Amino acid sequence: MHFVIMGCGHVGATLAGKLADMGHSVAIIDQSSESFNRLPEDFQGQRVTGVGFDKDTLERAGISEAYGFAAVSSGDNSNIIAARVVREEYGIENVVARIYDPTRADVYERLGIATVPTVRWTTNRVLRHLINLGPHYDYTDESAGMSIIGVDVDEGWYGLTVDNVEQATSARVAYITRLARGMLPTSSTVLQDGDRLYMAVNTNHASSVQHTLVHPPEEDAL
């Protein structure tokens, strides 16, 4: 998939590097060519010098073929203008904008633009908006080789129990968020539509856990 990022500060450069490491095509835009020095040395993506909400600049960055767009410059107004241009002129659905003023978030959300206030900003949160399919790493203990991940679940799992999930994945359901509230499940807890599962997994097996849950359950899991 192709992604376009506006702003090559610390967050933009880190995000571009992560997306490229995941095998995606990436174009990053910044008004200053010197900003591209923040990118990883092995970054193979496209560097585009220009204004991020200018259509010519966006088109040079391949916006027409983009799956997602992230506006992560240092200016709220620039980020929102760029996000609106990309969403309204090019029909890109996966658009996220960094904002410094959290009181404006509700306005932008009503415009269909996902926002992350800078006080809560992490590269992983942007990835979660840009790429719906997980796994999404919330915590990793490098020395233990374990992670807590948020997973996307096929609707076929709804109505099954936590025990069914754990047996199928060889992982543990650490907690579930339901109706915006967290809960500690038991093995007999039944999954409901809208539940968000957070799994304790061996880090090396996180992708296989997600692969299992994003597909309908096998017959022996029922």
Q: Which residue has the higher pLDDT, 201 or 207?
A: 201
The answer to whether the CB of 136 falls within 8 A of the CB of 102 is no
Strand partners, 147: 140, 201
CATH number of 136-221: 3.30.70.1450
- Note the pLDDT of residue 137: 81
The residue ranges of every structural domain in the chain are 2-130, 136-221
Cα–Cα distance for residue pair 50/114, rounded to 1 Å: 23
- Note the pLDDT of residue 94: 87
Interval 24-70: pLDDT, tens: 999 999 999 999 999 999 999 999 999 999 999 999 999 999 999 99
* Alpha-carbon separation of residue 197 from 131, 176, 214, 216 (angstroms): 17, 5, 12, 15
- Note the pLDDT of residue 157: 95
For the domain made up of 2-130, the CATH class stated in words is alpha beta
**Minimum mean pLDDT among 8-22, 96-110, 136-150, 184-198: which range?**
96-110
- Note the pLDDT of residue 120: 45
